[in-house]
Structure 1
Amino acid sequence: MLLIGIVLLRSVLAHNMTCEEIVASGKKLSLKELQSTDISQILNCLSHLGSEEMPRDEADFIWQSIVKNFRGVSNVPEEVLMVLHWVTPAITAAEYANLTLSNIEVIENFGLDYNLSNEQLAAIAERVREDFADKEPEDYTFYDLTALRNILCAFNRTEIERIHPLAYKEASQNIGKLKCKPDVMKAFATLAIQKDAFGPPDKWDDVIVRVVGEVAKYLPKNIVDKLFYSPVKN
């Protein structure tokens, strides 16, 4: 009887894990374990659960549980959106129409690289255009650009070229790690050579080339050849 009681107790605990127990376990929960975890504990532990890439079915389950708990996508609060992390890929492009992305901390979550589809990024970018503090690209600061990151890949060339070169320069180390479509990268390259950014490429040293990163590859070919295939000025 005692053994049966212990087994039953373990079963109950396994199906009612608290956030503290989830963190203490040191392991990722399986879909089955997530399905048997109360939504209140999933919400309490969301930043932990989403901290690492997860199978899509697990992300889908967590996101749909959140939506159900708050009775609709539009009701999911900002404090939840800003800690979704790897649950983010579960949000469909269509669902973004019902989200509000006006808070920079929320935008920062969606600006990280979750291998989102072009459709998802485009939907996020559209929300930013409509919601983000009435800001236009020329108003973006270092903090804005750092938060936006991968969302910038869904902007068009004209929008990117409206960013102030100084703001670009301050955020260039992060922007230089992006791998956007060529038109966007060429727009960043246009910003990079402005006098308020890094100026003419023939005066760049190896430090600037490293900071500009991927963007430097989208300068005119003769400049790229000089920067990457010739000795760099120190």
Structure 2
Amino acid sequence: MKRMVTGCLAVALLVSSGWATAEAKGKPSSKPKWADKNKDGIPDNWELKYKLGLGKNVANQDKDRDGLTNRVEYSLRLNPTKADTDKDKVLDGDEDTDRDGLTNSAEIALGTKPKDADSDNDRIKDGAEKQGKTKLSNVIQKLELQIKTAANRTMKIDYHWSERHSHLHIKDRTGHVTADDVQALITSLQAAPTLSNDEIIVKIQTLFSLDTPFRLELEWKYGNGRARKLSVKQSDKGNNTGQPSDDEDDDDQDDGD
């Protein structure tokens, strides 16, 4: 009898030990359960679903040209092959997913999180945070300026934010444009987003030493998604022709046509 009890006890311990081992093996690991052959942090089945391939640089590509990489599109649950996933006539990069006053593409450029309205958890929304003395919502994400002078000399300026850094390219045949001048213009537009078109024209004339006549084309976009355009042809008499505009008064401009 004792031998039988002892044998049963040994079997019970062996079985319980086996179950404990099985349970330990069955515990979830910290590693992702999905396959990621190219080790880019995106599941292979998601990349294959949208026919992105499994190349080494897939995560950093922007196939639909909406301003967001595939990695960001995956994180935000967007379609990486559609520039406007929800078909609301706003590019995915220009959407404000977390409603913090910054577009998705601006958040990536400025180093904040497009899924978190308060990236640094300081109880201040990212759009209201300041870079220097400027709210991030007023930071210029992109600016393009082209000027043609009376002597048919041109200047082209291309400025944009990318991965927390500003990038500036100047092509100047007038000899009057410096990086400091461009930065001064950008600083003014950021500090006072409501500057009138006339005030902006005067500022550009002063900074770049422009004599009349000249032709000017300016486009710029803020971190909050607001875009403005300015197209001016100024004569010797100081008269402006053209249609300065921004997104907020496009309707008024159409009514005047």
TM-score by shorter chain over 0.5: no
Give me the TM-score of the superposition, normalised by structure 2.
0.28
Structure with greater proportional helix content: 1
Give me the TM-score of the superposition, normalised by structure 1.
0.30
> Which of structures 1 and 2 has the bigger CA Rg?
2
Structure with greater proportional strand content: 2
